[in-house]
Amino acid sequence: MNVVIDNIKKRHSVRLFEQKSIPKKIIKTIIEAGNLAPSTGATKEVEERGKKKCVIDYQPWRFVVVENQEFKQKLFQTIEPLRSNFYEGLKKTVPEMYEDAIKLSEAMDEPKDLVFYSAPVIIYVIAPSSNSMGCAMVCQNIMLAAVSFGLGSCYVGFGAMIKGNSEIVNVLELKKGERIYGPIVIGYPKVNPSERQATILSELRSKKKEPKIKWV
């Protein structure tokens, strides 16, 4: 099996993690893989010899790695009410998605965390809002690189809903015109999930479809 194709096939959204730290060297290597993603670049203004000029930054993104438990709790407390309200709104409009969330919640270990899934590491990818295509590829590189180290990952869109908390905005150094892509949680997948947990996660993964292809 081709190693790259094998990693792509192995990658799936992991929502149950071992409470085990990840060596910083591995985290750095995974981020370096993300940093190698293709990019159209972004223009920025710089000052040179007293004059301002526009240059192209071909890697306009930056990364914030969150491991601190206290800060993780601040993130969770800020985001969880928004996530909960969102899913309550799906009760009637998209009941299947609501039911999936309830099943996952019921199967999770205490304390329940449906935002970051109690992952040991959260990686925020931050860049100008005009660079969404490049940052999508950065995130994919990160998730595929994680697989190669035996790690699981999950792209958690709710994790970006932090703008209402100025303290978190300051820690992330989020500037005007910047956007959060991801964040991505990573960690070692739980080795021995309960039968109920394994069944529910298997059901969620089985919803993927075969590709639709037109040959010309």
DSSP codes, 61-75: -EEEEE--HHHHHHH
Q: In angstroms, rounded to a whole number, what is the distance separating the alpha carbons of residues 172 and 74?
A: 13
Q: Specify the CATH number for the domain of residue 66.
A: 3.40.109.10
pLDDT in tens, 163-203: 999 999 999 999 988 999 989 999 999 888 888 888 887 77
Q: Tell me the per-residue pLDDT of 106-137, one tens digit each, with 9 for 90 and over.
A: 888 888 899 999 999 999 999 988 888 899 99
Q: How far is CA 90 from CA 40, 120, 183, 213, in A?
A: 36, 29, 23, 31
Q: Is 199 contained in some domain?
A: yes
| SS3 call for 78 | helix
- Give the pLDDT confidence score for residue 140 in this predicted structure: 96
Domain contains 213: no
The answer to the question of residue 193 being in a domain is yes
- Taking the whole predicted model, whether its pTM rises above 0.85 is answered as yes
Start-to-end Cα distance in the chain:
28
Residue 147, both tokens: 């697989």
Residues 12-41 have a mean pLDDT of 93
Q: Is residue 165 part of a domain?
A: yes
pLDDT digits (tens, 9 = 90+) for 35-44: 999 987 777 7
If one compares 205 and 158, the residue with the highest pLDDT of the two is 158
- Please tell me the predicted confidence (pLDDT) of residue 78: 97
Domain count, the chain: 1
209, part of any domain: no
Q: Is residue 1 part of a domain?
A: no
- Domain of residue 178, residue span: 19-45+53-204
215 within some domain: no
Any domain includes 2 = no
